[in-house]
Amino acid sequence: KNEVEQSPQNLTAQEGEFITINCSYSVGISALHWLQQHPGGGIVSLFMLSSGKKKHGRLIATINIQEKHSSLHITASHPRDSAVYICAVRPGSQGNLIFGKGTKLSVKP
């Protein structure tokens, strides 16, 4: 079993839909990252969370430390949101990031 599991693996949505991507992990962590990787390859750091909830524009990230679960929500999705979304956790206080396999999102106009 992978230490970081993301669901779904692939997601197709219509423009305007509300999207949720889930991340579950099995180790104790000090931080969780949500990353966005566009087809060209470049990675953008969206959020780093250690508790609670963060919001940036149309993106919302939540984390439940007790349940070892995080969600990334996209409101009013747009075709430009099409990308691979990656969850990564830092075990302990200084451990190296452990990456999920990513969720490929495609938003159709």
Partner 1 sequence: GAVVSQHPSRVICKSGTSVKIECRSLDFQATTMFWYRQFPKQSLMLMATSNEGSKATYEQGVEKDKFLINHASLTLSTLTVTSAHPEDSSFYICSARDSSGSNEQFFGPGTRLTVL
Q: Decide whether 69 or 95 has the Cβ nearer to partner 1.
A: 95
Instruction: For residues 81 and 36, give the distance between their C-alpha atoms in angstroms, rounded to a whole number.
Output: 9
Q: Is 35 in the site for partner 1 (CB under 8 A)?
A: yes
**Site residues for partner 1, window 37-96 (CB under 8 A)?**
41-45, 48, 86, 90, 96
What is the DSSP secondary structure assignment for residue 95, as one 8-state letter? Answer: P
Q: Decide whether 56 or 109 has the Cβ nearer to partner 1.
A: 56
Please check whether residue 67 is in contact with residue 61, taking contact to mean a CB–CB distance below 8 angstroms: no
Instruction: For residues 13 and 18, give the distance between their C-alpha atoms in angstroms, rounded to a whole number.
Output: 9
Q: Which residues bind partner 1 (CB under 8 A)?
A: 30-31, 33, 35, 41-45, 48, 86, 90, 96-97, 99-102
